[in-house]
Structure 1
Amino acid sequence: MNLINLGQQLKHERRAAGLSQKEVSERAGVDRSTISKLEGGQLPEIGYSKLERLLGLFGQELVPTPVKRRRPTLDELSDNG
């Protein structure tokens, strides 16, 4: 999921909970302008802890995606064998 989709989801959750951006800002300790930019798809990046606090307000959490492993080289295979 990218930040634009995440911002739209956050906006949906916030509205469903009947909260204003200011209320979310105060509860999560994140600037209201950051929330506005995130919801509007205008935020190029956000820190992990801020995002974690925002998602936590709505019972969501960040789940890491497993890293795809690349295939070993011949040198790596010969070193293990």
Structure 2
Amino acid sequence: MRLIEIGHRLRQARQSLGLTQAHVARASGVSRATLVELENGLVRDLGIAKVLAIADVVGMTLEATPAARRAGRDFLALATKAANVGFRTPVREVDVLRAFLTGTASAKARPHLRRLMEDSPPEVIRGLLDQIAGWSKPGRLSRNVEKLVRELDVDSKRVAAWMKNA
């Protein structure tokens, strides 16, 4: 399970209990900014002790179980592999995810993301957007993709093909 999936579930639990981010952050000993980043899938790395503390406050537990095979394709993993073709230093899944969720790419990830957007079949990008949409607020993903496309100067005709479903 990815950190973004954990953050999404923790947000759902927090909201179902009617707790504010400030309350959960204070009770778990993390900053509100860290909690916001975790819930939005933007945190790059977070120690297990902090995740467990947050989970405890919202009445959840984490357990290690053998990973089940995912139903369908994992488009984030597929897109990350495609983005890394031809590059000596790879970009990580979290960097690809962060770029699509925020609409900005780090200097290190820009060439990889441009390659991904220019060379990948539209089905891969649409699958990636569908997968990420489950972790994003409605409308935010399409705005951030448009922002990312402008930042990377990707051909707008290609973008129109994938944005039909986003």
Same fold (TM over 0.5): yes
1:1-81 matched pairs, under 5 angstroms: 1-65=1-65
CA distance in 1, matches of 2:63, 2:11: 20
Aligned AA (2:21): Q
Higher share in helix: 2
Length, aligned pairs only: 67
* Letter matched to residue 57 of structure 1: V
**Structure 2: stretches of 5+ with no match in the other structure:** 67-166
What percent of counterpart residues are identical? 35
Once the 2 structures are TM-superposed, how far is the Cα of residue 62 of structure 1 from its aligned partner? 2.2
Q: Distance in 2 between matches of 1:39 and 1:23?
A: 14
- Offset of 1:58 from its aligned partner? 2.3
Bigger radius of gyration among the two: 1
Flag the structure with more relative contact order, 1 or 2, with Cα contacts below 8 A and sequence separation at least 6.
Answer: 1
Q: Distance in 2 between matches of 1:37 and 1:47?
A: 14
Instruction: Deviation per CA, 1:18-61: give whole Å up to 9, x if none.
Output: 11110001111111000000011101111111011011112222
Whole-angstrom distance in 1 between the partners of 2:64 and 2:37: 24
SS at match of 1:44: coil
The DSSP-based 3-state class of the residue aligned with 1:26 is helix
**1:40 partner amino acid:** N
Give, in whole Å, the separation in 2 of the partners of 1:46 and 1:53. Answer: 12
- Describe the SS at the equivalent of 2:5: helix
